[in-house]
Amino acid sequence: MIVLGIESSCDETAAAVCENGRRLLSDVIYSQADIHALYGGVVPEIASRKHAEKISYVVSEALKRARVSPGDVDVVAATCAPGLIGALLVGANFAKACALGWDKPFVPVHHIRGHIAANYICFPELKPPFIALIASGGHTLIAHVRDYTGIEIMGTTRDDAAGETFDKIARVMGLPYPGGVKLDELSQGGDQDKYRLPRAEVAGDPMAFSFSGIKTAGVNLIHNAEQSGKQIDRRDLAAGIARSISEALVSRIFLASELTDERTIVAAGGVAANSTLRKMLTEGCSSRGLKLYMPPLSLCGDNGAMIAAQGYYEFKAGHVGKPDQNCYANMPINEQFGVGMFI
Ligand code: KG4
Ligand code: ZN
Asked whether 314 lines ligand 1 (CB < 6 A), one says: no
The alpha carbon of 109 and the centre of ligand 2 are apart by a number of angstroms equal to 12
* Ligand 1 atom nearest to 136, measured from its CA: 8
Q: 196 pLDDT band (50/70/90 cuts)?
A: confident
The reported pLDDT for the residue numbered 310 is 98
pTM for this entry: 0.96
The alpha carbon of 271 and the centre of ligand 1 are apart by a number of angstroms equal to 4
The reported pLDDT for the residue numbered 159 is 97
Contact between residue 2 and residue 17 where contact means Cβ atoms under 8 Å apart = yes
Q: 342 pLDDT band (50/70/90 cuts)?
A: low
Tell me which residue of 23, 270, 43 sits closest to 165, measured CA to CA.
Answer: 270
- Which-ligand-closest: CA of 238? 1
Q: What is the pLDDT of residues 106-137, one digit of tens each?
A: 999 999 999 999 999 999 999 999 999 999 99
Range 134-152 average pLDDT: 97
Supply the residue whose CA is at minimum distance from atom 16 of ligand 1. 270
Q: Residues of the chain with pLDDT > 70: what percent?
A: 99
Strands in 75-81's sheet, in edge-to-edge order, are 23-31, 12-19, 2-7, 75-81, 106-110
Coil/strand/helix, residue 133: strand
Q: What is the pLDDT of residues 82-105, one digit of tens each?
A: 999 999 999 999 999 999 999 999
Which residues are near ligand 2, the ion (C-beta closer than 5 Å)? 136, 302
Contact between residue 117 and residue 21 where contact means Cβ atoms under 8 Å apart = yes
Range 142-155 average pLDDT: 98
> What sign for the dihedral angle of Cα 267, 297, 87, 80?
negative
Asked whether 166 lines ligand 1 (CB < 6 A), one says: yes
Alpha-carbon distance of 131 to 124, in angstroms, equals 17
Q: 339 pLDDT band (50/70/90 cuts)?
A: confident
Contact between residue 81 and residue 266 where contact means Cβ atoms under 8 Å apart = no
Indicate if the pLDDT at residue 182 is higher than 60. Answer: yes
Q: What is the pLDDT of residues 45-69, one digit of tens each?
A: 999 999 999 999 999 999 999 999 9
Q: What is the pLDDT of residues 289-307, one digit of tens each?
A: 999 999 999 999 999 999 9
Range 316-332 average pLDDT: 95
The reported pLDDT for the residue numbered 36 is 96
Indicate if the pLDDT at residue 343 is higher than 50. Answer: no
- Partners of 28 in beta bridges: 15
The reported pLDDT for the residue numbered 47 is 98
The alpha carbon of 269 and the centre of ligand 2 are apart by a number of angstroms equal to 6
**Mutate which of 136, 172, 241 for ligand 1 pocket (most atoms within 8 A of beta carbon):** 136
User: Which CA distances in Å does 339 have to 1, 172, 255, 294?
Assistant: 20, 44, 35, 31
The reported pLDDT for the residue numbered 112 is 98
> How far does CA 187 lie from the centroid of its chain?
22
The alpha carbon of 135 and the centre of ligand 2 are apart by a number of angstroms equal to 8
The reported pLDDT for the residue numbered 340 is 80
Tell me which residue of 157, 152, 159 sits closest to 135, measured CA to CA.
Answer: 157
Q: What is the pLDDT of residues 229-285, one digit of tens each?
A: 998 999 999 999 999 999 999 999 999 999 999 999 999 999 999 999 999 999 999
**What does the buried/exposed string (b/e) look like for 135-164 if buried means 16 or more CB atoms within 10 Å of the residue's CB?**
bbbbbbbbbbbeebbebeebbbbebbbbbb
The alpha carbon of 228 and the centre of ligand 1 are apart by a number of angstroms equal to 32
